[in-house]
Amino acid sequence: MKIGVPKEIKPQENRIGLTPDSVKTLVSEGHEVLVENNGGFEAGFENDQYIKAGAKIADTAADIFNDAEIIVKVKEPQKVEVDMIRENQIVYTYLHLAAAKELTKGLIKSKSINIAYETVTDDNGRLPLLAPMSAVAGRMSVQAGAHCLEKNQSGRGLLLGGAPGVTGGMKLFLQMNK
């Protein structure tokens, strides 16, 4: 199959649908992979890494949507992308359709085949594609909380680990926020 990986265009989204290692695996299984020019740059991947993994670099997202049988993304397609999706093209990404009426209508109108990462279950009913995202979010919550505690963020200026010579800093914080 011909698999296309466009650059994510949703604001503040820097990930890419496939890493060079994933591309290498797919190419070794006989698939052709197209990656949009500099599509992985914001995620820390260069075009050369994708080329070494066996991908071909496409100039534009339009080239990818036009040529690929499968589109692999991270976030839900934006309006300009929905307009490029073809009938029977497979789109594999997070969709979150419950809160996206226009996206849902657009995908239905395209007559594409859409697989939402957040709905894929394993034989035990677990969500193996959603679980890693939840683990990352859990770890990031501590970092985000620490950032919010900083004085310049209108926080209380407390350190999560406390400060030398100050007793009960975290205990005080937890009591104040019950």
Beta bridge partners of 105: none
Catalytic residue among 2, 52, 96, 105: 96
- How would you write 16-50 as a 3-class SS string? CCCCHHHHHHHHHCCCEEEEECCCCHHHCCCHHHH
96 is annotated as an active-site residue? yes
162: left (phi over 0), alpha (psi -120 to 50) or beta: left
Cα distances from 145 to residues 21, 133, 139, 158, 173, in angstroms, run 33, 18, 10, 11, 12
Contact (Cβ atoms closer than 8 angstroms) between residue 51 and residue 57: yes
Catalytic site positions: 96
